[in-house]
């Protein structure tokens, strides 16, 4: 990697029709500049119409590596916008795409906090993944836990304290408490952790409900959707006004020249009982509980009218303008 100075005014590339793709390919092939710029270059080439396999053949960047630097560069950019310190920006400009990739699940302020903590303790990607989980878990806790502050170190300490309370094995419990004490910042939070050394009460965690999965056994079970021209008598104008429909596989989604699309689903009870069902397409590994087996495209049906929190349900929540399907242990302040 060619060393370059960190750019505090880093901004994502503006994709134009006259992008010099060959220059970007050359940059990637020679690994010139920072990995952040590699992520920008890969993203630009994809927006110009190249798929990940073509980029791999042209540059040697494998698809998984492309995804890592693209996502991590977006995280880096959000940290710059979030006014991360010069020390943090300088460090991660040079290295750490695997670490910043783990912070993709966090909001902008938490990314900045996590990056500072990771740099302070010189953590690797595996440890960064735990930090990200801890901060996200704290942000979804529904309130400020007693004795803990919003300092990133206290957030991580709370996460390990919660895991320790759920652990019956004394040795494992002690290990988790020690991890929490490593990151704790406030005196009150430290006291909370130290109490666990003598309080062996086990707090059993709530378990996520079973994610209901429905599959069609036969392709014939998937109904067809046909546009309706009206009722006889019809004139030529009525007939020609029928929108052109095209079914998109594998689920037979219908698009037409108007402003919408429809998907035909079997009359499962869970669908019939929904007041305002809305479909979102996603990959099976994007679900809160990834499905076993090969990753495939699935349909998630969300009842838009279901805005009352229930412990045995999953909810669509908004995080920095993006929607995610999550199970919430406690009642949040508001739902999407």
pLDDT given for residue 302 in this prediction: 83
Residue pair 69/38 in contact (Cβ under 8 Å)? The answer is yes
Report strand pairing: 253-255 vs 261-262: antiparallel
pLDDT given for residue 234 in this prediction: 60
For helices 35-47 and 52-59, the axis angle rounded to 10 degrees is 130
Q: How far apart are CA 171 and CA 156, in angstroms?
A: 20
pLDDT given for residue 14 in this prediction: 47
Q: What are phi and psi of 254, to 5 degrees?
A: -105, 125
For residue 258, what pLDDT band results from cuts at 50, 70 and 90? Answer: low
pLDDT given for residue 221 in this prediction: 63
Q: Which residue has the higher pLDDT, 26 or 270?
A: 26
Q: How far apart are CA 132 and CA 147, in angstroms?
A: 21
Helix ranges (H only) for the chain are 21-30, 35-47, 52-59, 63-81, 86-94, 97-102, 108-121, 125-139, 152-165, 170-183, 187-195, 236-240, 269-272
Which 3 state secondary structure label does DSSP give 279? strand
For the full predicted model, state whether its pTM sits above 0.85: no
Q: What is the mean pLDDT of residues 1-20?
A: 53
Residue pair 329/316 in contact (Cβ under 8 Å)? The answer is no
What Rg do the C-alpha atoms of the chain give, in angstroms?
25
Q: Which residue has the higher pLDDT, 5 or 42?
A: 42
For residue 187, what pLDDT band results from cuts at 50, 70 and 90? Answer: very high
Transcribe 132-145 into DSSP letters: HHHHHHHHTSSS--
Nearest to 104 by CA among 79, 82, 127: 79
Give the bridge partners for 316, in sequence order.
Answer: 325
- pLDDT, tens digit (0-9, with 9 covering 90-100), for 138-179: 888 777 888 889 899 999 999 999 999 888 888 999 999 999
Residues 6+ apart with CB under 8 A from 129: 102
Count CA within 13 A, CB hemisphere, residue 27: 17
In percent, the amount of the chain with pLDDT more than 90 equals: 44
- pLDDT, tens digit (0-9, with 9 covering 90-100), for 122-145: 999 999 999 999 999 888 877 788
pLDDT given for residue 334 in this prediction: 55
């Amino acid at each position: 990697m060619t060393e370059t100075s960190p750019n505090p005014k880093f901004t994502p590339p503006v994709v134009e029709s006259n992008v010099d793709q060959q220059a970007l390919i050359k940059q990637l092939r020679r690994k010139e500049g920072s990995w952040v710029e590699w992520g920008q270059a890969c993203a630009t080439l994809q927006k110009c119409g190249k798929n990940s396999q073509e980029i791999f053949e042209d540059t040697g960047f494998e698809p998984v590596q492309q995804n890592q630097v693209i996502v991590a560069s977006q995280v880096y950019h959000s940290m710059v916008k979030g006014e991360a310190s010069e020390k943090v920006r300088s460090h991660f400009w040079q290295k750490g795409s695997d670490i910043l990739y783990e912070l993709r699940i966090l909001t902008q302020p938490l990314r900045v906090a996590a990056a500072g903590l990771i740099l302070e303790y010189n953590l690797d990607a595996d440890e960064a993944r735990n930090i990200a989980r801890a901060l996200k878990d704290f942000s979804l806790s529904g309130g400020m836990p007693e004795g803990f502050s919003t300092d990133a170190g206290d957030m991580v300490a709370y996460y390990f304290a919660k895991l320790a309370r759920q652990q019956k094995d004394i040795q494992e419990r002690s290990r988790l408490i020690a991890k929490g004490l490593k990151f704790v910042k406030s005196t009150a939070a430290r006291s909370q952790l130290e109490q666990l050394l003598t309080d062996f009460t086990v707090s059993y965690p709530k378990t996520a409900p079973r994610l209901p999965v429905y599959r069609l056994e036969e392709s014939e079970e998937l109904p067809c959707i046909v546009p309706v021209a009206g009722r006889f008598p019809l004139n030529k104008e009525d007939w020609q006004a029928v929108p052109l429909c095209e079914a998109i596989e594998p689920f037979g989604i219908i698009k037409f020249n108007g402003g919408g699309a429809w998907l035909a689903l079997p009359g499962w009870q869970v669908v019939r009982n929904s007041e305002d069902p809305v479909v979102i397409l996603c990959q099976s590994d994007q679900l809160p509980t990834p499905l076993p087996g090969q990753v495939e495209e699935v349909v998630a049906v969300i009842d838009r009218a279901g805005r009352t929190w229930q412990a045995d349900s999953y909810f669509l929540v908004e995080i920095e303008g993006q929607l995610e399907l999550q199970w919430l242990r406690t009642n949040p302040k508001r739902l999407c």
